[in-house]
Amino acid sequence: MSILPIHTYGQPSLRKKAKPVRAVDDDLVKFVQDMFETMHNAHGIGLAANQVGTLRRVIVIDVSDMGEEYKDEKPLVLLNPQVIQSEGEWTMEEGCLSIPDIRDDVTRAETIRVQFKDLDFKDQEIRADGLLARVILHEIDHLDGVLFIDHLGAVKRKLLTGRLNKIRKGEVEIEYPFVAEGIETPASRE
């Protein structure tokens, strides 16, 4: 498996809409394995293909280390996810591997139902609430070119401009490989 460099704020792939997956092949399975390896290496709980520079509607999620109530949650691979129902709303602080060191409160649906295809390319549906719903919604946003900071008010976004410009230029200290404006730290192979 490989650890892929994560694209940080300012990289074009983060603002583009990902294309639907049409079939599962060995390359896609390996890509999903690499996404999990990359996400775990960066201590993340969700990762969208856009974040590693690939415009395919693929997300991986693993919230099993997020406390007792999630310890039995199996890692998820969602191909072509689509929210078909949402209820309630709640606000919680979010962060993003592509926008390191910035966190802020974001309001999202509390409970969702999502249709997707699994790695066997079979139709699936999941009902999620709380943290799992939030992570799924955050990652689906990525597939649509939306970042969590887009959910913040104009004043908050304006206040983040300086920090975002530093991230864009690669002026960040993070422990995982990344791609920024004119910078690509080396990916690793295991």
Active site residue ranges: 139
**Backbone phi and psi for residue 181, each to the nearest 5 degrees, phi listed first:** -55, 105
CB burial class (10 A; 0-12, 13-18, 19+) of residue 143? buried
Q: Which residues are within 8 A (CB) of 140 and not within 5 positions of it... i.e. 6 or more apart?
A: 48, 59, 81, 82, 83, 114
The secondary structure of 120-168 as a DSSP string is T--EEEEEEEHHHHHHHHHHHHHHTT--GGGGS-HHHHHHTHHHHHHHH
Q: How many angstroms separate the CA atoms of 5 and 11, rounded?
A: 12
